[in-house]
Amino acid sequence: MTERNEVAVARRWVVKVGSALLTDDGRGLDEGVIARLVAQLAGLRQRGCEVVLVSSGAVAAGVVRLGWSSRPSALHDLQAAAAVGQSVLVQSYENAFKAYDIATAQVLLGHDDVIARDRYLNARGTLGTLLGLGVMPIVNENDTVVTDEIRFGDNDTLAALVANLIDADALLLLTDQQGLFNADPRHDPAAELVRQCDVHAPELDGMAGEGGALGRGGMVTKLRAARLAARSGTETVIASGREADIVERVTAGEDVGTWLRTGKRPQNARKQWLAGMVRVPGSVELDDGAVRVLRESGRSLLPVGVRGVQGNFQRGDMVACRDGSGREVARGLINYSAEEARRLQGQPSSAIEGILGYRGDDELIHRDNLVVL
Ligand SMILES: Nc1ncnc2c1ncn2[C@@H]1O[C@H](COP(=O)(O)OP(=O)(O)O)[C@@H](O)[C@H]1O
Ligand SMILES: N[C@@H](CCC(=O)OP(=O)(O)O)C(=O)O
């Protein structure tokens, strides 16, 4: 068993492909790279893994499709290019995945979708459903509407947030270098590849440099992304998308690229992250049965087990769950507003539609979004 076994056991993957790799030295999409990548991702799926693809390349593809000679600098031109190029990009992927009988889904996310908790739950639900359906989600930033202040800019950060969102076991950042070197190899020919390191090791900060002409963030954002991904216990590997069979080799646990180790089990880390959320605008009081079920069987909280609702909160807010004596037994992200929760308390989930007039989630708080204290 190699040390990379912790990577090889990963079943849920986020694979991110950067512009530097995809875009044929700025001349548009490199269809050869896309075809090879898609073949490998189809293979990963065949081996029983779930995959979400985060792909850059919209702006570069749009610039070429519009017949422009270089990447513009004005925001609206960049957004127009992204809108045009995104169609080209997903069309290329859809064509390529079709050969493997895999349907694709375009998922465009912005900052609010992964930070605001109601949208967070929606994005999480949709991605989970797509994975369950065997579809390949292809994620990019919603470049057309984001403004400078709130854009991720680089897709490394977006990929890490997607990894948090779906509790990915591992994140693979494919770029144009073999991995993270101890200095930028473009400027230092003696630079050596870091094969593995604790993701939080401070010495990594001095090694990671800026990106090239095409990519946006360089290794700085890849390192930051690996640290973000570690919050949900996700292991990160940075590797070269130019190397043959790279996806297969990384996912099989071969010692290739740079492995940034989290050193923590996924579930614990995600729960720690949830537990660390500071704003708790309300609480629900549970009956004894619900307290027992949460404590002993780690199940979801259903409306039927709730006796009272305090405070004012929205869907997606963190809410404390208290026992009859007011002691906090758990906390989690709630699926309904305070006003709705008040109407649902004590009721069976089958009554939700009749009470609210729409069919929401069966659970008040799903067990994946619940931390028992
Ligand atoms: N320590 C380092 N090790 C490897 N690459 C580095 C390092 N520091 C900076 N880089 C640069 O980061 C670039 C990859 O990032 P980037 O251009 O943003 O690509 P992508 O589009 O794949 O995200 C590499 O081409 C490399 O020149
Ligand atoms: N959303 C942008 C990608 C931003 C970008 O270049 O990211 P990356 O190459 O991953 O650093 C696009 O599709 O053009």
Intervals of the chain under pLDDT 50: 1
Q: Is 264 annotated as a binding residue?
A: no
ipTM, interface predicted TM-score of the complex = 0.96
Q: Ligand 1 centroid to 91 CA: how many Å?
A: 27
Around ligand 1, the residues with Cβ closer than 6 Å are 18-21, 56, 175-177, 180-181, 183-186, 207-212, 215-219
Phi and psi, residue 47, nearest 5°: -80, 10
Position 112 scores a pLDDT of 73
**CATH code for the part of the protein at 5-271:** 3.40.1160.10
Around ligand 2, the residues with Cβ closer than 6 Å are 18-20, 56-60, 82, 140-141, 143, 154-156, 215-217
Contact assessment for residue 146 and residue 60, using Cβ atoms and an 8 Å cutoff: no
Q: Which amino acid is at 268?
A: N
Position 270 scores a pLDDT of 64
| Ranges of each domain in the chain | 5-271, 277-372
Atom of ligand 2 nearest to the CA of 140: 1
Cα 85-88-89 angle, rounded to 5 deg: 85
Alpha carbons 192 and 188: distance in angstroms, whole number: 9
Atom of ligand 2 nearest to the CA of 82: 14
Position 1 scores a pLDDT of 43
Tokens representing 265 are 């089990």
Tokens representing 299 are 């199940």
CATH domain 277-372 topology = 2.30.130
